[in-house]
Amino acid sequence: MVCRDRTPSIMSESSAEAVLDRPGRAELPDTAALEVVDARTHNLKGVSCSIPHGKVTVVTGPSGAGKSSLVFDTLFAEGQRRFVESMSTYAQQFIQQLERPPVGEIRNLLPAVALEARNSVKNARSTVGTLTEIHDLLRLLFSHLGTVGCPEGHGAIRERSREELVDDLVEGEAGERFTLTAPVVRPETGADDALEELIRQGFFRVWIDGELVRLEPGAAWKKSWDPLEIVLGRYRADPEKRTRIRDALEEGFHLREDLVIARSEGGETRFLSTDLRCPLCGEGVRRPVPPLFSFNSPLGACPTCSGFGRVMGIDGRLVIPDPGLSLEEKPIAPWNSKSRRRYYTRLRKACRERGVPLDVPWEELPEEDREWIWEGGRGFKGIQPFFDRLERKKYKMHVRVLLSRYRSYDRCPDCGGARLQPEALAVTLRGETLPELTARSVEALREWVGERGWTGEERARAGDVLDLLEERLETLHRVGVDYLTLDRTARTLSGGETQRIHLATALGSGLTGTLYALDEPTIGLHPRDAKKLLGLLRELGDRGNTVVVVEHEPVVIEGAEHVIELGPGAGEQGGERVFEGSVAEMLDSGTLTARFMNGSGSELARRHAARYRRESGASSAGEELARKPPVLEVLGASEHNLREIDVAIPGEALVAVTGVSGSGKSTLIEDVLFEGYREWAGEVAPAPGRFREIRGLEGFDEVEMVDQSPLGRSSRSNPITYVKGYGALRKLFARTPVAEELGFTPGHFSFNVDKGRCPACKGTGEEEVDLQFLGEITVICDRCQGRRFRPEILQVRLKGKTIAEALDLTVTEALELYGDYRPLERRLEDLDRVGLGYIRLGQPTSTLSAGEAQRLKLAGFLKKRRKKSAGRLFLFDEPTTGLHLSDIALLYKAFRELIRRGDTVVVVEHQLDLISRCDWIVDLGPGGGHRGGDLLFSGPREQFLAAEIESPTREELRAHLGM
């Protein structure tokens, strides 16, 4: 079996028991090791290596050295191909055939599972709870142990036998004296004949509109009498009347299946039923089953929002973007066009009649006046009716476009965002509804499950579900994602969080004899939690699995049982196996990774720390920063788990925002600071996180958020075009003698215009072939052979290279070849400065990793030369993702270049090497989720290291520097 970004289900009880009962290291496969011979994928240069089974092997090396090419594009790809080939010929016709990777031989390859550091979940219904299958376990618990409640809020409901109903009536549940009636449903046909038969049987008294009515033979069954309550008799709560009451109930249940009504003389009503029915309101509910608690099932989903928890509406912030404008200044955005001026005319007239001032800002108008303008009133149709009319014209394209500008998703008014229908929300488990439990973090739910003190009877009814739930929560805690809430949408998770969740699922699956390929599982993980993750990886190995990890984190490398290092450089300079063996042997080998790791956590680390202080003057610089007033202040940040914190950020400094995963770092920088800036700048953006005030935004020319989102999906975008260097390269080609002789301009050397690009593939180098029922496939263009340009354009050469060959050069090669042309050299140097010297100039940006895309964005900022006096504020989200220790040194120099120009750089970061070089530390914590959100420290790095605070980051940083 081969699986990518997916792990097998763990709902099998037998598999779960196998996992729990397996003692120590499982029996290893007969073969000693997985052997790779002569791998040549991408830049690999005939790499041969041996990966021991049942152990954790780390593949490391500089970024671009070929690690992913070896692990994923060779090992996993070959395993996937063999899996497809093992299927029947019939099944293979529905699956894309995979090419064999360029490798001499792979021996002893196991079934493979690839867990990559990317989030491929796009479904808005998928949550952390459904992704980890905890939601499924909770649904089973609620269906077996849940207490059913009345959807109208009248308390718990339980099934009662007929004898119990008789006991309750005899004991006075319906009062001292009561009347029993049976509500009979009016048949669609023959209603009068049915009533005549009831009267003939002696049921001539009925209860209508609170009164006892006697019917005579021949009476008609009116349509309003539906149901018709047939009076069974009047009784007194007396043990001696028990037999009569029981007979009356039996008679009533015969007339109306399982429902009898008891009416007391005081006017109170009780509904008697052996089904799950509320005795106070008569509302019947279904017996709890797992689909009832699923928002993906029609049985359980809220009918209003269809289980999404949100409904589409109109966003008032978009309709009135500037509430400081008065009605006279036309604040209503959709009416500010020539074709809708009449709406303002009607509004002014209506406001004069009502006495609403036209010169007062919208935000200062009384609430009732604003509501009147929005909803409309007598003689005036407001903003909401305007949009309601547009909704009826959605068949027109321009109307749909107009509505899309003012759309928003609001919490469902019926379920309150819980996604489930009232019947499911009425079921509780130990006083908690299912949405209330899923709103908790993994850590909080773990504590809740452990604190309940489940009885033996409850455990017997739950079977193995409780044990599986406790095991799964414990595993998620160990992989470092216990701060995540179970109802968080899965598509909002980072790649590292998604990978660790899949890893936790893999641990619960009980698979043995499997090859696990992981791509930097420590992304987004605090160094403290990286040690827990290492223990889980070893546990996978102990179960008889082979674990191969692409990793840069020193903690994981040091804990590996086998190390393979590729290098010595990146791109064309990489692709070679420079080391293979144990960690101790690697540290003595003198490789690039060994040199950097030997400078951490030892006497050399103290020397490095002293060198950093000498180079940057950290002590004096930190004191100077502390004396200066901050250029930016975020006051009263309280979004998510932030607890009204005030954060000061100095100018022209490298600032690190640190803390364990889930402590509130991204919330502070992205949701509060950046979105607050966008709102302040008047941009149309999501509402920012809650804060009291942000001071100092006017002191920056611009604020840039540099996250790990992809640059785009277009194959025409590439690194050289992104940094605006393609124009300089085309000018160079246009100046060659051959180009001048043929009359070629710089435009001829562009694959985006007709005069230069291949007419067959339109400059993409590929063509799509429609295979009818097999879909479309992409093949290399026959005419240009993937070179993108017309044949006559490829006649022109610059230093022996055509324009197509020039785009195939790496940044380092292009610098050597065309470095004497200053306009192009500057752009290439910016790419090389951020550690992207190994990528090719024409490589599509859609193929770059998240870390490479982020560094390419940084190179784009380096090329800009500021013209204004104020600096820029850069906000980076874990810029060291995917970087080797040597590349982090290059990244640090690029940050210092921005600061030298007068900019301020803020990084959300876990990587200790980079944190140790920052000028200012903002530390949040001390834990994640509800245990985080506090400001532990804000100040110079040296003061942070010396501070007496409970900070996991401070402890790890001091250990890293050997202090």
DSSP 43-61: T--SEEEEEETTSEEEEE-
Residue 847 has pLDDT above 90, yes or no: no
d(CA 762, CA 757): 6
Q: At what angle do helices 242-255 and 162-170 cross, to 10 degrees?
A: 130
Question: Which of 284-298, 396-410, 578-592 shows the lowest mean pLDDT across its residues?
Answer: 396-410
| The predicted structure's pLDDT at residue 143 | 92
d(CA 886, CA 623): 29
**C-alpha distances in angstroms, 303 versus 126, 192, 423, 609?**
18, 38, 12, 61
* Bridge partners, 301 (sequence order): 420
pLDDT band at 655 (very low <50, low <70, confident <90, very high): very high
| The predicted structure's pLDDT at residue 764 | 86
Diameter over CA atoms, the chain: 120
Are 547 and 540 in contact by the 8 Å Cβ rule? The answer is yes
What is the CB-side half-sphere exposure of residue 219 using CA atoms within 13 A? 18
Cα angle 801, 802, 803; round to 5: 120
As given in the structure block, the two tokens for residue 743 are 């009359």
Count of C-beta atoms within a 10 Å radius of residue 434: 29
Query: How many angstroms from the chain centroid is the CA of residue 490?
Result: 4
DSSP 317-374: HHHSS-TTSBGGG---GGG-SGGGHHHHHHHHHHHHHHT--SSSBGGGS-HHHHHHHH
For residues 792-831, one letter each, b for 16 or more C-beta atoms within 10 angstroms of the residue's C-beta and e for the rest, the string is: ebbebebeebbbbebbbbbbbbbbebbeebeebbbbbbbb
The alpha carbons of the chain give a radius of gyration, in whole angstroms, of 35
| The predicted structure's pLDDT at residue 11 | 34
Are 843 and 718 in contact by the 8 Å Cβ rule? The answer is yes
Residue 769 has pLDDT above 80, yes or no: no
Instruction: Using CB atoms within 10 Å of the CB of residue 157, give its burial: 0 to 12 exposed, 13 to 18 middle, 19+ buried.
Output: buried
Q: Output the average pLDDT for the chain.
A: 85
Could you read off the pLDDT of 71-89 as tens digits, one per residue?
Answer: 999 999 998 888 888 888 7
For residues 225-245, one letter each, b for 16 or more C-beta atoms within 10 angstroms of the residue's C-beta and e for the rest, the string is: beebbbbbeebebeeeeeeeb
Q: Which residues contact 819 (CB under 8 A, 6 or more apart)?
A: 825, 828
pLDDT band at 712 (very low <50, low <70, confident <90, very high): low
Residue with tokens 């990774």: 593
Four-CA torsion 554, 886, 874, 822, nearest 10 degrees: -170
pLDDT band at 745 (very low <50, low <70, confident <90, very high): very high
**In terms of Cα–Cα distance, which of 551, 469, 539 is closest to 511?**
539
Residue 270 has pLDDT above 60, yes or no: yes
d(CA 38, CA 148): 64
Could you read off the pLDDT of 895-941 as tens digits, one per residue?
Answer: 998 999 899 999 999 999 899 999 999 999 998 888 899 999 999 99
Given its phi and psi angles, is residue 107 left (phi above 0), alpha (psi -120 to 50 degrees) or beta?
beta
Could you read off the pLDDT of 36-67 as tens digits, one per residue?
Answer: 999 999 889 999 999 999 999 999 998 888 99
DSSP 856-888: HHHHHHHH----SSSEEEEEEE-TTTT--HHHH
Given its phi and psi angles, is residue 762 left (phi above 0), alpha (psi -120 to 50 degrees) or beta?
left
| The predicted structure's pLDDT at residue 607 | 46
pLDDT band at 96 (very low <50, low <70, confident <90, very high): low
**C-alpha distances in angstroms, 935 versus 422, 638, 818?**
40, 11, 50
Q: Which residues contact 332 (CB under 8 A, 6 or more apart)?
A: 319, 320, 343, 344, 383
Are 836 and 863 in contact by the 8 Å Cβ rule? The answer is no
Cis omega (within 30 of 0) for bond into 111: no
* Bridge partners, 516 (sequence order): 113, 547
